[in-house]
Amino acid sequence: MTLDRFYPIFDKAEWLIRMLPLGVKLAQLRVKDQPLNVVRAELRAAKGLCGEHGATLVLNDYWQLAIDEGCDWVHLGQEDLDTADIPALRRAGIKLGISTHDHAELDRAMALSPDYVALGPVYPTILKKMKWHEQGLDRVTEWKKLIGDTPLVGIGGMSVERAPGVFDAGADIVSVVTDITLNDDPEARCAEWVRATR
């Protein structure tokens, strides 16, 4: 299965009600700092919505919940890898995406045979305080050479305008958060993304 080139990330399932009808085919649910019952409820809602629209849902972090709820995909950051039971995820048939920021993290990720690798932040991002400065397009090209056929996700400071350059540099998929969720007209911006990545 080939993943869609457009990969938005949302913190609530209700975003999917608005965005899936616009053509979103791949989305991540990233719920932070909420009790497990809240995360479970969001996941169930998101799974149902993605199922109705034939879209792929990726759950950020909560690997045990992903197994319990029969998810298809999990995305793990480097800190998540410290505690995640990767063999259990694989036994459950769950595909795995992993965040990377430097060569050591990439080596660690590739040793786990991930189903995609994310590199970020490609551009400066306002989303979270990061110890990594922008990676730049040259790093995207370098990463793609190193990982070969494994899909590469570019994330961090993404906009519709920047997307073509990131694809040209070697990314297979572009992931976006605030360019949609903080936009004055998220639906219009999402529709622009769909057009720009098809």
**DSSP 8-state code for residue 75:** E
Class of domain 6-197: alpha beta
Residues 75, 95: Cα–Cα separation, whole Å: 9
Domain ranges of the chain: 6-197
Residues 78, 49: Cα–Cα separation, whole Å: 28
Q: Are 69 and 43 in contact (CB under 8 A)?
A: yes
| Tokens coding 39 | 């995360």
**Closest by Cα among 66, 110, 114 to 92:** 66
Query: What pLDDT score does 64 carry?
Result: 97
- Per-residue pLDDT tens over the stretch 87-134: 999 999 999 999 999 999 999 999 999 999 999 999 987 766 666 778
Q: What's the helix, strand, coil split of the chain in %, to 5?
A: 45, 20, 40
Query: What pLDDT score does 49 carry?
Result: 98
Q: Going along 32-184, which residue ranges are E strands?
A: 56-60, 73-76, 95-100, 116-119, 152-155, 173-176
Rounded to the nearest 10 degrees, what angle do helices 103-110 and 137-147 cross at? 30
Range 134-161 average pLDDT: 97
Residue type for position 166: V
Q: Are 48 and 76 in contact (CB under 8 A)?
A: no
- Per-residue pLDDT tens over the stretch 57-76: 999 999 999 999 999 999 99
